[in-house]
Amino acid sequence: MSSPTSPTPSSPAAAPEPAGPGLSEPQRLVNIFFNPTKTFTDLKRNPSWWVPWLLVSIFVLVPGVLVVQKVDLHRFMEQQIERSPAAQRRMENLTPEQRARGMDINVGFIKGTIYAYPVVNLVKGLIIAAILMVVFNFFLAAEVPFQRAMAVVFYSYIPFIVYSVLLTVSLLVSSDPNTIEIGNPMPTNPAFFMDPTGNRFLYALAASLDIFNIWTIVLLGLGFSAASSNRKPDKSTGLATMFVVYGVLVLCILGWKAVF
* Within a domain: 16: no
At 51-78, the pLDDT tens digits run 999 999 999 999 999 999 999 998 988 8
* Within a domain: 54: yes
pTM score: 0.88
pLDDT in the model for residue 92 = 82
Count of the separate structural domains present in the chain: 1
pLDDT at 23 over 80: yes
| Exposure b/e, 159-180, CB count within 10 A at least 16 = b | bbbebbeebbeebeeeeebeeb
Q: What is the Cα 111 distance to its own chain's centre?
A: 20
pLDDT at 13 over 50: no
pLDDT in the model for residue 19 = 53
* Within a domain: 2: no
- Domain membership of residue 72 as a residue range: 36-259
* Within a domain: 88: yes
